[in-house]
Amino acid sequence: MSLSKKILSFLHKSNATRLAQKFFPNSLTVLNYHRIDYLENNQDMFQPNISATPPMFEWQMAFIKKWYRVISLQQLTDWLTNKAPMPPHAALITFDDGYADNYTNALPILKKYDLPAVIFLTTGYIASNRPFYWDLASYCFVHTQTDRVQFPDGAEKAWQSVEEKKATLKSWIEAMKKLSENEKQTWVSQLPEALGVSIPHDFFENKMLTWEQIREMRNANIEFGAHTINHPILTRISLTQAREEIIGSKQKIEQELEEPVTSLAYPNGMQTDFNTDIAAIAKEVGLASAFTLLSGPTLNSTAKKNPYTIRRIFISHNHSSAHFSLLASPLNRLRNS
C-alpha cells in the first residue's frame, strides 16, 4: 500500500472526513459522473469515462444518502433565486454527456435510494449513433495493428505494451483538446485510416440515451441540463458559436421535455474551458447556474455570489471507497484552496 493510500485509509477509518463534514455544513457538494458500467463491457470505449461500476455506484449513493442532504437541481435553483433555503450538508448528483447506461444502470439505483439527480445532455449526440471523439479514438487504439500514432505537433509516439498504448491514447485525446474545433475534427476523422481500423457501422448504436428514456427518467425525479450541442470546448470557438451551442442545447431539451432548462455544464469544465464571457452568456440566455469540473465542494456563499462557476467532484472507477469519501469531504476543498 502506498503512503497516500495508507493516509486515505486512515482518514476513512478514523471518520476524519465525516468529522470535517460536520464542521462545514454550509457548503455544496456536487458529484460528477459520466458513465456507470462494467469495464469489461467497455473494452473498446474510453474507459476513463466509466465513473463507477454499478456496485460501486450503489455504495456511493448509500454513503451520500447517509451523510448528506441530497437536493434536486430545482432546489438549488430555488435557493439561488432566493425562493427557498439550502439545507445543511447539501449534495447534488450530476451526470454529463447522456450515455444510455445512465438509464440502464444508474436509474435503478437512484430509484432504489430515492435520490434525485441531474443529467447534462450533449443534445447533438442524444438518440444518435454519433460517437464522441474519445470513444472513436479508443475503438481505433484498441483495434489497431500498428504500434504508433502521429500527434498534431508532428511528433510520432510508439507503444510496446497495452499499458503504453492506453497512456498514448490518453495523451492523444488531451492533445485534441488543445486544437481548434475544426483541427480536432480533421484529426479525429483521419484517425481510423491512420491506424488502419474500420469501425463497424453499428458499433456506436444504442450507446446514448433516447428522448423516450429521457422522458421516462424525468418522471422518476431526474432533471436535465444543457451540455451544448456538439461538446466543443467553449473557449476554443467564437463567442457567437458558444452562444449557439448553449442556446441550441437548452432549446432542444425544452422542446422535448416541455419545461424550462435552468442549468449548464461546461464541456471539459477545467479552468481554461470557460471564462467570464461564457458565464455571461449562460446568464443572458436565462440559465440560473453553470457547473465546472474544478474539484471540490463550493461554499454556499461562493455559489450564491457566482452561480456560474460551481465546482464538482469528478468521480472515477479508480477511486476506492476511502478515496471517494475523502473527495466528497470539505477537506477536498481545503486541499484545493
- Which one of 43-51, 91-99, 238-246, 297-305 is the stretch in contact with Zn ion (CB under 5 A)? 91-99
- The candidate with the shortest Cα–Cα distance to 236, out of 298, 313, 182, is 182
Between strands 156-158 and 148-150, the pairing is antiparallel
Nearer to Zn ion, 17 or 268 (CB): 268
Distances (CA, A) of 82 to 117, 245, 288: 21, 28, 12
Binding part of the chain for Zn ion, among 89-97, 135-143, 238-246, 270-278 by CB under 5 A, reads: 89-97
Considering the complex, what minimum distance in angstroms separates the CB of residue 223 from Zn ion?
Answer: 17
Least distance between Zn ion and beta carbon 66 (Å): 29
As measured in angstroms, the least distance from the Cβ of 266 to Zn ion is 9
With H, G, I as helix, E, B as strand and everything else as coil, classify residue 286. coil
From the CB of 161, what's the least distance to Zn ion, in Å?
29
Choices 58-66, 88-96, 193-201, 204-212 (CB under 5 A): range interacting with Zn ion: 88-96
Q: Which amino acid is at 239?
A: L
Closest C-alpha among 104, 97, 129, 127 to residue 204: 129
Q: Which is closer to Zn ion, CB of 165 or CB of 231?
A: 231
Choose between 11 and 234: whose C-beta lies nearer to Zn ion: 234
Q: Is 135 in the site for Zn ion (CB under 5 A)?
A: no
Among 46, 56, 90, 97, binds Zn ion (CB under 5 A): 97
Q: How far is the CB of 267 from Zn ion (least distance, A)?
A: 5
96 binding Zn ion? (CB under 5 A): yes
Quickly list H helices, 46-94. Answer: 54-67, 73-80
C-alpha grid cell for residue 263?
442549468
Instruction: Spell out the long-range contacts of 142-149 with Cβ–Cβ below 8 A and sequence spacing 24 or more.
Output: 142/43, 142/44, 143/44, 143/195, 143/197, 144/195, 144/196, 144/197, 145/196, 146/195, 146/196, 149/191, 149/194, 149/195
Q: Which range of residues in 73-81, 92-100, 236-244, 305-313 is near Zn ion by CB under 5 A?
A: 92-100
| Least distance (Å) between residue 131 CB and Zn ion | 13
With beta carbons less than 8 A apart as the criterion, state whether 289 and 80 touch. Answer: yes
* Binding of residue 245 to Zn ion (CB under 5 A): no
Q: Which is nearer to Zn ion, 11 or 290 (CB)?
A: 290
Residue number, 8 or 234, with CB nearest to Zn ion: 234
CB of 111 to Zn ion, least distance (A): 24
CB-nearer residue toward Zn ion: 95 or 308: 95
Cβ 144 to Zn ion, closest distance in Å? 25
- Which of 226, 233, 238 has its CA nearest to residue 285? 226
Contact 286, 263 (CB under 8 A): no
Is the Cβ of residue 214 or residue 331 nearer to Zn ion in the bound state?
214
CB nearer Zn ion, residue 165 or residue 207: 207
Size of the site for Zn ion (CB under 5 A): 2
CB atoms within 10 A of CB 114: 11
Residues 189, 136: Cα–Cα separation, whole Å: 9
Where along the sequence are the contacts to Zn ion (CB under 5 A)?
96-97
